Structure formats: C-alpha cells, structure tokens
Amino acid sequence: MRLAERAAGISPSPTLSIDAKAKQMKASGVKVISFGVGEPDFDTPEHIKEAAIEAIKGGDTRYTPAGGTLKLKQAIIEKFRRENGLEYQANQIVVSVGAKHSLYNAFQVLCQPGDEVILPAPYWVSYLEQIKLSGAEAVIVQTREENGFKLTPEELRAVITPKSRVFLLNSPSNPTGGVYSREELAALGDVLLENNLTIVSDEIYEKLMYDAWSM
C-alpha cells in the first residue's frame, strides 16, 4: 500500500524509542533510570477518577462542540484571568485532547507549503514533525549554553525572511529547562511585531519552575 509523501517523511519518535529501550533493559534485569517519556510517577488522583466515573454514570458521553463545551471554556477563561492576568472571550478558546493535538491544529491552520517556522534548538522532538506535516519548513536556530539556551533578539532577527510565518516559543523549555524573563520575552516580541510573525507559545510546563523566581 502506498503512503502519502507527508506520512512517509515523518520520523519515529526518539522519546518512545528511548522508553521502549529502557523497558526492555528493565525486563532483562538491568537497573535503569529512564529520561524518556515524561510521565508522572503517581496514579491519576482519586477525585479526578471519581469525576470521570460520575460523568459516565450520568450519561455525559455524547458529542460535544468541536471546540469544547461552554462550561469548560468558561473554566479556562477563569484560569487565565486568575493565574495569568489575561482576559479572553469564549470564542477565543479552542479545547483539544492534549498539547500535541493543539500544536498540530495550530500549524495546520497557520502554515502551508513555502512557509517557514522559526524553531529554537534544543527543542521537543514532536515540534519538527508537526511542522513537516503542515508543509512548512522548520528554520532551526541553535541557542547557546552561555545564554541559558535562550534565543536572543539578534539571533531571531538574523533568521527572519519573507517566508517566515510562525515563531515557536517553549518556556519553560523542554528539554533545557530554560525560562525566559519578562524582559527577554518583550525583546523577542518587539522583533516579531516588527516582522508581523505569529507566535505559537507552548506553555505546558508553566507550573514546573523549581525556584522562587516568577515572571
């Protein structure tokens, strides 16, 4: 069976490959600490399990709006207001089944063949494949250890071309742990506004900051 070219061009997940290797080694008696799949070492909390069970018992199992229910969107709006000081309307919120789904959808609607997505490295392995599937080209920019693996405005400006469409930001970063300060974000934002680029900001690790500093 012939596969579409876009499917044939996707690389296997290095994360899952590492995880499979670690599990194989453990099964054969090797003591392994795996840094592959990012899963918590605890089970789903009981109150979440109970809420899911009650929803099923209550018949809450039918189709919902593709972008999420109004009640859920309102909870998300309140989260942004309470924790981030941001104001959104329900028509500005789209709910997905996870971060990968959100990012995939974003690239699908923002990018097309011939577009460029600026991607600071090191980066989470799925970003590159998501960009490929949109038909766009990833412009990978190597960051430097002396800068905390954070992109500078000068480095960003140097790679922008007429084809540049999206800048992908991940802070706190996977895998470096780097966190941009408010001032650093503002400096990057100025460059992006000058060039009319769209920002895709992956903030899934928002809570994983292990010091007293906050933006």
Report DSSP letters for 105-160, one per residue.
HHHHHH--TT-EEEEEES--HHHHHHHHHTT-EEEEEE--GGGTS---HHHHHHH-
List of residues 6+ apart from 137 with CB closer than 8 A: 115, 116, 117, 131, 163
pLDDT band at 190 (very low <50, low <70, confident <90, very high): very high
Give the mean model confidence (pLDDT) for residues 189-202: 97
What's the pLDDT at 6? Answer: 80
**C-alpha–C-alpha distance, residues 48 and 25, integer Å:** 33
What's the pLDDT at 214? Answer: 47
What's the token pair of residue 85?
């000081």
pLDDT band at 12 (very low <50, low <70, confident <90, very high): confident
The 8-class DSSP code of residue 97 comes to S
The distance from CA 18 to its chain's CA centroid, rounded to whole angstroms, is: 20
For residue 97, report the phi and psi dihedrals to the nearest 5 degrees.
-95, 15
Percent of the chain with pLDDT over 90: 78
Amino acid letter at 101? H
What's the pLDDT at 164? Answer: 98
For the chain, domains (ranges, CATH) are 63-95 (no CATH), 98-202 (3.40.640.10)
The distance from CA 93 to its chain's CA centroid, rounded to whole angstroms, is: 16
pLDDT in tens, 150-174: 999 999 999 999 999 999 999 999 9
Checking if the pLDDT of 8 tops 90, the result is no
pLDDT in tens, 70-113: 999 999 999 999 999 999 999 999 999 999 999 999 999 999 99
pLDDT band at 116 (very low <50, low <70, confident <90, very high): very high
Checking if the pLDDT of 181 tops 90, the result is yes
Amino acid letter at 93? I
pTM here is 0.85
pLDDT in tens, 13-42: 888 888 889 889 999 999 988 887 877 889
Which residue, 122, 189, 128, 200, is CA-closest to 165?
200
